[in-house]
Amino acid sequence: AQSVAQPEDQVNVAEGNPLTVKCTYSVSGNPYLFWYVQYPNRGLQFLLKYITGDNLVKGSYGFEAEFNKSQTSFHLKKPSALVSDSALYFCAVRGPSNSGYALNFGKGTSLLVTP
């Protein structure tokens, strides 16, 4: 089964510092990986995806993610955090065709950026 794990429930970082939100995956075959962000009482917003190609993927709002096959990781990063980045972040892996390509989500990591 395709699955992802987010080992941290919460990440705290000071504004202006770099941030990392961790994600590891377990898949059979090539992984199709995604990052989404959720603000309170809102739907999820797509940030970026990895399908194939460069291991460093750039996405929305200055976020990027690094795909590491040997460590089976797909960590989300940003060089300089903003207070407005505070939100809930979800890592996800795409399921197979017999699941309608539905996404399997991690439990989420709450990011708090303090001024």
Partner 1 sequence: DGGITQSPKYLFRKEGQNVTLSCEQNLNHDAMYWYRQDPGQGLRLIYYSQIVNDFQKGDIAEGYSVSREKKESFPLTVTSAQKNPTAFYLCASSTLRQGRKGEQYFGPGTRLTVT
Q: Kindly list the residues in this chain that would bind partner 1 in the complex (CB under 8 A).
A: 9, 32, 34, 36, 41-46, 49, 51, 90, 94-95, 99-103, 105-108
3-state secondary structure of 32: coil
Instruction: Give the rounded distance of the alpha carbon of 24 from its chain centre.
Output: 10
Residue type, 93: V
Q: Give the residues across from 109 on adjacent strands.
A: 89
Q: Quote the CA–CA distance of 33 and 57 in Å, as a whole number.
A: 11
Whichever of 36 and 67 has its CB closer to partner 1, that residue is 36
Whichever of 80 and 99 has its CB closer to partner 1, that residue is 99
Asked whether 32 and 94 are in contact (CB, 8 A), the reply is yes
Give the nearest distance from C-beta 39 to partner 1 in angstroms.
10
Give the nearest distance from C-beta 71 to partner 1 in angstroms.
22
Q: Quote the CA–CA distance of 82 and 85 in Å, as a whole number.
A: 5
Whichever of 25 and 90 has its CB closer to partner 1, that residue is 90
Whichever of 15 and 64 has its CB closer to partner 1, that residue is 64
Give the nearest distance from C-beta 94 to partner 1 in angstroms.
3
